[in-house]
């Protein structure tokens, strides 16, 4: 594995022919299968169940998983391209693919025993949705202040607690859950478990009613003396904090991809609109003031895309990307907010209505500054890396 140095790292953003073809295939799927469903899913507040089997059949739910477990044996840059392409159409549809690959498959493939990988990865790549459960009501940014406990009783652990803000939670059957096996040890007692929906004492609770990504399920999980076999410990007991940090580093690339996709979708819609909308006898695209706004948005978006791609490439090359991942997520979410806001304005009054897609892109943008680490937490991570 390449070692950390103070020297600048190379920019690794060029796509291969295979990656370009993969992105085109996912984009076609998003246009043909996701776009016609977006408005209905938004109104219903849930993904169309018919989409999920298609994700699996296309191999989108196991991109990085080794082929021996049914995956594509691909890379993080391929996950990035898939999430970006789907997010151009609908962020809710994209986040299911993102979470499955970066927050569920990745830690199981990276830290799971041979038995865990053999039992769960084939299911996760072929038919079963997964979810990642770290956050709690009193431990969001302070993730390692979690209160969920795990007590060893014979050949199983008993988990008690309540998890919040769990993406994919309503559809999932397999969960990566974090609990503390030794509260006296603080964060060093945190342990990761693979928990199945059917385990005794496990229950899915309330579904959140959200501002954006409304079709994506966000739920609470209730662990009431939930029995988890000892063999379902993910990695050594007490190493959950390490697993959580490394997993979130990868996950932040996925969120960056989601944000550049959302911004691109909004900008594409706005660009098409200003080429047709007339004011003062000519189309809006002929006004220099409008041209400059679009040019700035496109420049910001391209910069964010390059940061996200580069972070993904570095991760694939074996680098520690705590800094680059935080930078990519931070900047991509900032750009997405700016670009989608500007696109609403370019539509004028129409942009504030549900007749056009930009108001949804605008609402979907906000979550990027919050989940998988708020912008302030990304700044803290970046500052530590820069000032060490």
Reply yes or no on whether the pLDDT at 1 is more than 50.
no
Share of the chain above pLDDT 70, in %: 97
Encode pLDDT of 330-359 as tens digits. 999 999 999 999 999 999 999 999 999 999
C-alpha distances in angstroms, 52 versus 71, 130, 165, 332? Answer: 16, 12, 21, 27
Encode pLDDT of 44-91 as tens digits. 999 999 999 999 999 999 999 999 999 999 999 999 999 999 999 999
Encode pLDDT of 262-302 as tens digits. 999 999 999 999 999 999 999 999 999 999 999 999 999 99
Reply yes or no on whether the pLDDT at 18 is more than 50.
yes
0.85 exceeded by the pTM? yes
- Whether residue 30 contacts residue 85, with contact meaning beta carbons closer than 8 Å, is answered with yes
Measure the CA–CA gap between 135 and 191, rounded to whole angstroms. Answer: 14
| pLDDT value at residue 6 | 44
Reply yes or no on whether the pLDDT at 211 is more than 80.
yes
Name the average pLDDT for the chain.
95
Instruction: Just give the CATH number of 17-129.
Output: 1.10.540.10
Find the catalytic residue in 136, 171, 196, 372: 372
Measure the CA–CA gap between 345 and 373, rounded to whole angstroms. Answer: 29
Reply yes or no on whether the pLDDT at 2 is more than 50.
no
CATH class of 132-238: mainly beta
Q: Is 67 an active-site residue?
A: no
- Ordered by start, the domain boundaries in the chain are 17-129, 132-238, 241-387
Q: Is 193 exposed, middle or buried (0-12, 13-18, 19+ CB in 10 A)?
A: buried
- Whether residue 255 contacts residue 368, with contact meaning beta carbons closer than 8 Å, is answered with yes
Q: What is the DSSP string of 299-334?
A: HHHHHHHHHHHHHHHHHHTT---HHHHHHHHHHHHH
What percentage of the chain's residues is helix, strand, coil (to nearest 5)?
55, 15, 30
Averaged pLDDT for residues 120-140: 96
Reply yes or no on whether the pLDDT at 247 is more than 80.
yes
Superfamily for domain range 241-387: Butyryl-CoA Dehydrogenase, subunit A, domain 3 (1.20.140.10)
């Amino acid at each position: 594995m390449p070692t950390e140095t103070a020297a600048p790292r190379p920019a690794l953003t060029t796509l291969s022919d295979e990656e370009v073809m993969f992105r085109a295939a996912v984009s076609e799927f998003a246009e043909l299968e996701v776009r016609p469903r977006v408005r209905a899913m938004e109104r219903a507040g849930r993904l169309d169940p018919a989409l999920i089997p298609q994700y699996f059949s296309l191999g989108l739910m196991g991109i990085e998983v080794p082929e021996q477990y049914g995956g594509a044996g691909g890379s993080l840059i391929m996950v990035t391209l898939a999430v970006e392409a789907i997010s151009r159409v609908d962020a809710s549809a994209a986040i299911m693919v993102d979470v499955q690959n970066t927050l569920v498959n990745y830690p199981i493939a990276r830290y799971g025993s041979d038995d865990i990988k053999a039992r769960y990865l084939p299911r996760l790549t072929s038919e079963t949705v997964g979810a990642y459960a770290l956050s709690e009501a009193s431990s969001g940014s302070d993730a390692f202040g979690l209160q969920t406990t795990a007590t060893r009783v014979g050949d199983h652990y008993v988990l008690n607690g309540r998890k919040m803000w769990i993406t994919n939670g309503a559809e999932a059957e397999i969960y990566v859950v974090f609990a503390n096996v030794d509260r006296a040890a603080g964060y060093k007692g945190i342990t990761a478990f693979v928990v199945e929906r059917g385990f005794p004492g496990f229950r899915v609770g309330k579904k959140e009613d959200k501002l954006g990504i409304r079709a994506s399920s966000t739920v609470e999980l209730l662990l009431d003396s939930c029995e988890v076999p000892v063999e379902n410990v993910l990695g050594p007991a007490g190493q959950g904090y390490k697993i959580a940090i490394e997993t979130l580093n990868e996950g932040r690339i996925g969120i960056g991809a989601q944000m550049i996709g959302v911004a691109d979708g909004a900008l594409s819609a706005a660009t098409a609109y200003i080429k047709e909308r007339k004011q003062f006898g000519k189309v809006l695209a002929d006004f220099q003031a409008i041209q400059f706004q679009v040019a700035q948005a496109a420049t910001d978006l391209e910069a964010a895309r390059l940061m996200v791609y580069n972070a993904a490439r570095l991760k694939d090359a074996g680098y520690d990307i705590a800094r680059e991942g935080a930078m990519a997520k931070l900047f991509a979410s900032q750009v997405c907010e700016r670009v989608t806001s500007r696109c609403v304005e370019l539509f004028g009054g129409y942009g504030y209505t549900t007749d056009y897609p930009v108001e949804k892109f605008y609402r979907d943008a906000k979550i990027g500054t919050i989940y998988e680490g708020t912008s302030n937490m990304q700044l803290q991570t970046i500052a530590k890396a820069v000032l060490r």
